[in-house]
Amino acid sequence: MKSRSEKVAIIGSGIAGLSAAVRLAVSGKQVVVYEQNAYTGGKVTAFEREGFRFDMGPSLFTLPHLVDELFELAGKAPREYFNYHTHDEVCRYFWQDGTQLTLYPDVERNVEAIRTVFGDASAARVAEYFERARKKYELTAPFFLENSLHKPRTFLTPEVLKVVAEIPKLGLFSTLHQENQGFFKEPKLVQLFNRYATYNGSSPYQTPGIMQMITHLEHGLGTHFPKGGMHEISQSLTRLAEELGVQFELNTRVEELMVEKKRVRGVRVNGRPVLYDQVVCNSDIKHAYQHLLPKSVKRPKKTLAQEPSSSALIFYWGLSKQFETFDLHNIIFSEDYEREFDRIRTNGPFWEDPTVYIHVSNRLEKSDAPEGKDSWFVMVNVPYDQGQDWDKIINKTRTSVIERISKTLGCPIDTYIEVEEMLTPTAIEQRTSSIGGALYGTSSNERLAAFLRHSNKSSSVKGLYFCGGSAHPGGGVPLCLLSGKIAAEWLNEDTQHAKSH
């Protein structure tokens, strides 16, 4: 007699939830995904206005093999479902004194570009910097990112012994800013490489130097952009999951995680209980403990006490003109980076001197804007929501951003804005349940932040698993794909173990 397949509920259809759903469906589970919004993808969604298409969330795509892996696992040819451009530029950088620099996914080209702009002395250590970033990434990624840090056996491998031996060189005891200052005397280069702390919502003046490894993702492994936009990552995975039999319940908010005798029993939806064998929670960790789990469940105090990551204020502008000065990714730096991050941390007037990120998707996806026009995603890092007067902040920030971009381009860009939408920290929280609209769950400003992220398996409720930006290994598309993988594999291991005993 064929045994009954387990029923698994997934709360949330963000990238991590979709990753887990595909893996669990492939392993034979009956999977139902509950999503409070009318669409799947969480932060990886999009919208269109008057011929302009905008990705609302992440705009950088690295490690495409992590998406391909899900199609291959399901026995599908990835290119029949999901395709992407590989770009030959990483980013164009602009400073307010008129200095400009373009960097590439090629160390030799970067050395030459930095030599041309900043001279031989600045270029002398660039290759060594990228090499060190590569070594840090290759040494630690299999350990910190691809495995659970909450399984004892993770620490009993030869790879971990190598990591332990290299700890003094990893930069765990210095900040990213200190690491960068040790390499470069040119302040603009220190600022440029400091920016990688923002990839997980942290400050370069607080996050550990090991975060140098993030530069390897772009400059060593390359940057890409999905055909159809970032939105296609979530939508192609949704289509794959549906082909595998995954059921999506959209516009459906889970009201409670039902727990009985320290075991998950299911979820409460629309006032009624629905029973499941296991539950994977792709909701923000703090939201899960505040609103979904019964008060009787033990709280992980250290994890919940961690500071949320930064948030963002995003302007989506459809412009009536193309500005070829900008490529796919562009950064206009603030005059005083340290003061900017201090103001973000303390809720000071960060809008007075913001660093501005501009993503022009129609450089690669021509249909994202009408001919002769531009589709801009313009982002400024801001604090997570703590009750600030966002209407006042938005007006001041918008003015500063327009002034900053207009100065860089040498023309008043506000006269060309014909479509405008925006996304605020409060709206991010409403749409994704991330506390305060924090983009990456918790910040990585503490030295051992990687160890303090919530485990992918509950230690106090049997049958409950976690994935997403606030769980291990962290936020951003690649890490969320890995988070869903770790959670799903752990659930499957537990299921197999239970069957064999």
Domain 310-432 sits in CATH at 3.30.519
* Predicted confidence (pLDDT) at residue 218 exceeds the cutoff of 50: yes
Average pLDDT over every residue of 136-143: 80
Average pLDDT over every residue of 421-434: 94
pLDDT value at position 238? 98
Average pLDDT over every residue of 88-102: 97
10 Å Cβ neighbour count for 332?
22
478 Cα distance to chain centroid: 7
Is residue 329 within 8 A of residue 91, CB to CB? The reply is yes
403 — pLDDT class (breaks 50, 70, 90):
very high
275 Cα distance to chain centroid: 32
- At a CB cut-off of 8 Å and minimum separation 6, what does 314 contact? 56, 377, 378, 379, 380, 422, 423
Phi, psi of 29 (to 5 degrees): -80, 150
pLDDT value at position 58? 93
167 — pLDDT class (breaks 50, 70, 90):
low
pLDDT value at position 1? 34
Torsion angle, alpha carbons of 197, 203, 207, 213, to 10? 10
10 Å Cβ neighbour count for 373?
19
10 Å Cβ neighbour count for 112?
14
How far the first Cα of the chain sits from its last, in Å, is 19
Q: Which residue has the higher pLDDT, 226 or 146?
A: 226
- At a CB cut-off of 8 Å and minimum separation 6, what does 77 contact? 71
Is residue 470 within 8 A of residue 417, CB to CB? The reply is no
Is the preceding omega at residue 473 within 30 degrees of 0, hence cis?
A: yes
pLDDT value at position 168? 61
Domain ranges of the chain: 7-42+57-83+228-305+440-499, 105-110+121-219, 310-432
pLDDT digits (tens, 9 = 90+) for 49-88: 999 999 999 999 999 999 999 999 999 999 999 999 999 9
- Domain 7-42+57-83+228-305+440-499 falls under CATH 3.30.200.20: no
Fill in the DSSP letter of residue 310: P
pLDDT value at position 2? 44
CA distance 234 to 221: 22
pLDDT digits (tens, 9 = 90+) for 178-191: 999 999 999 999 99
Average pLDDT over every residue of 462-486: 94
Q: What predicted TM-score, i.e. pTM, was given to this entire model?
A: 0.93
Compute the mean pLDDT over every residue in the chain, rounded to the nearest whole number: 92
CA distance 357 to 428: 18
Q: Which two tokens stand for residue 249?
A: 């319940």
Is residue 21 within 8 A of residue 14, CB to CB? The reply is no
Helix ranges, 141-273 (H) = 158-170, 176-183, 187-194, 214-219, 231-243
Q: Which two tokens stand for residue 419?
A: 């479509």
43 Cα distance to chain centroid: 9
**Element of type H or E holding 226:** strand 224-226
* Predicted confidence (pLDDT) at residue 451 exceeds the cutoff of 80: no
Say which range, 158-172, 195-209, 261-275, 360-374, has the weakest mean pLDDT: 158-172
Say how many CA atoms lie within 13 Å of 148 toward its Cβ: 22
E-strand stretches of 272-373: 272-275, 278-281, 311-319, 329-332, 356-360
* Predicted confidence (pLDDT) at residue 12 exceeds the cutoff of 90: yes
* Predicted confidence (pLDDT) at residue 447 exceeds the cutoff of 70: no
pLDDT digits (tens, 9 = 90+) for 239-279: 999 999 999 999 999 999 999 999 999 999 999 999 999 99
pLDDT digits (tens, 9 = 90+) for 314-353: 999 999 999 999 999 999 999 999 999 999 999 999 999 9
CA distance 220 to 90: 10
83 Cα distance to chain centroid: 20
